[in-house]
Amino acid sequence: MRDVAIIGAGMIPCRSRWIDKTYWELAQWAVAEAIKDAGIHINAIEAGAIGIYNDIFEFQAIPESPLQSIIGLANKPLLRVSSGGATGAYTMLAAHTMVASGKHDMVLVLGVEKALDCYDYEAESPTPAVVQTIAYSWDPWFERPLGAHASSSYAQVIQAYMDEHPGDLALSARARLVELLSTQAHLNPYAQRRDETVTAEQVCNSRYVVFPIRVLETCVYTEGACALIFASPEKAEELRKETGREPIWITGVGAANEPYFVGRDVSRYKVLHRIHSDRLATQRALREAGLTIEDIQVIEAHDAFAPQLMITLSEMGVVPLGRANDLVEEGIVMPGGRLLVNPSGGLIFGGHFVGGSNMMSTWSVMREMKARDLDHGLVHGTGASLSMYGVVFVLERRG
């Protein structure tokens, strides 16, 4: 398997709704930005992988089909990926394989979502329709009839963890973490909530979405797009000499999916108070990169909900399980701490356009590595019922 470089990244502004643009236009915009960043022509791209989570959002059963020529990949392979909240990360995994295998030398990675075009005419709001559309991801016989949705799914994991580790995931620690993410989002020019400041006190006083998750520690529905360009070592070196642009290297990749149904035997069931997929994916990616978690200087971890983010960082080994409060109370992720976490504001403030959110995370880690002269970064994605899908990429700068 060959090394894989990221030679270009294109972000567009995240919004609660792009009323005046279709998902076709959002996709085209992001691709144009990535091509410009890489300093190449679209004709140099040999294939693509696109992340679109939900057909219903786009009102089309094969929403990737009209994008083929619009983004400049006419008569070339374009693979569509859908893996719940981890759609962006799994799309990157597919594209990475396409290059690492030697099949292609340059592959476009694209994630786009237009969620808020859904509309509930009885409620006169898009939100109920979006929630119902996401609910179609759940088991139609036992879970969906009970009202299962993304928030209730993650809440089960969070509450089970809190039952297992009483006192951990304290609201005070979660609230301070959300306040930090709010501040960091001010420096992300594409963040949906860039101009919003949320204090720890406001988080503590905000209403519940579903216990124990409060509304201000929850990611936001977003419309947006992000594109990346993956390249072989030969192409990356060739472009570096031509343009002077520095590539970022993917040195480790790990992924894991947990069983669907809940039980105590980890080999057969989803253990409710754990996110084993995050632990396994992190271990595999770090092992492949020849690093430990202590070597990582910046992380963009999938934060669908702030307490889930804290569990994920514990599963990664940043702190021990049951000691997630230390992330904040010991200053590990706070300003001046040893680890920069979600400098984009994460999905909570940057925005969660499901098909491409993890690509936005990659754009952010690359940006910070170059701006702060950091050697190693990590990107994480999770998704599906009970946070069962985990994907991790380790990124590296080379002198």
Residue 100 has pLDDT above 90, yes or no: yes
Does any domain span residue 181? no
Does 389 have pLDDT greater than 80? yes
Count of CB atoms situated within 10 Å of the CB of 140: 10
Question: What pLDDT sits at residue 124?
Answer: 85
The residue whose two tokens read 């069931």 is: 269
For the stretch 63-87, pLDDT in tens is 999 999 999 999 999 999 999 999 9
Q: Which domain holds residue 84?
A: 4-118+221-243
Domain-located, residue 23: yes
Q: Is residue 8 part of a domain?
A: yes
Long-range contacts of 368-374 (CB under 8 A, 24+ apart): 368/298, 368/340, 368/343, 369/248, 369/297, 369/298, 369/395, 369/397, 370/246, 370/248, 370/397, 372/297, 372/298, 372/340, 374/297, 374/298
How do residues 194-250 score in pLDDT, each as one tens digit?
999 999 999 999 999 999 999 999 999 899 999 999 999 999 999 999 988 899 999
Q: Is residue 338 a part of any domain in this protein?
A: no
In a domain, 299, yes or no: no
pLDDT digits (tens, 9 = 90+) for 266-313: 889 999 999 999 999 999 999 999 999 999 999 999 999 999 999 999
With respect to residue 256, please indicate whether it lies within any of the assigned structural domains. Answer: no
Higher-pLDDT residue of 134, 181: 181
Contact yes or no for 226/9 (Cβ under 8 A)? yes
Q: Does residue 393 belong to any structural domain of this protein?
A: no
Length of the chain in terms of residues written: 399
- What amino acid occupies position 259? P
Sorting pLDDT into bands at 50, 70 and 90, what band is 131?
Answer: confident
Report the CATH number at residue 50: 3.40.47.10
Look at residue 70 and tell me if it is in a domain. yes
Whether 399 has a pLDDT exceeding 80, the answer reads: no
pTM of the model: 0.96
- Please tell me the total count of domains within the chain: 1
Q: For 2-16, write each residue's pLDDT tens digit.
A: 999 999 999 999 999
Pick the residue with more confidence: 116 or 396?
396
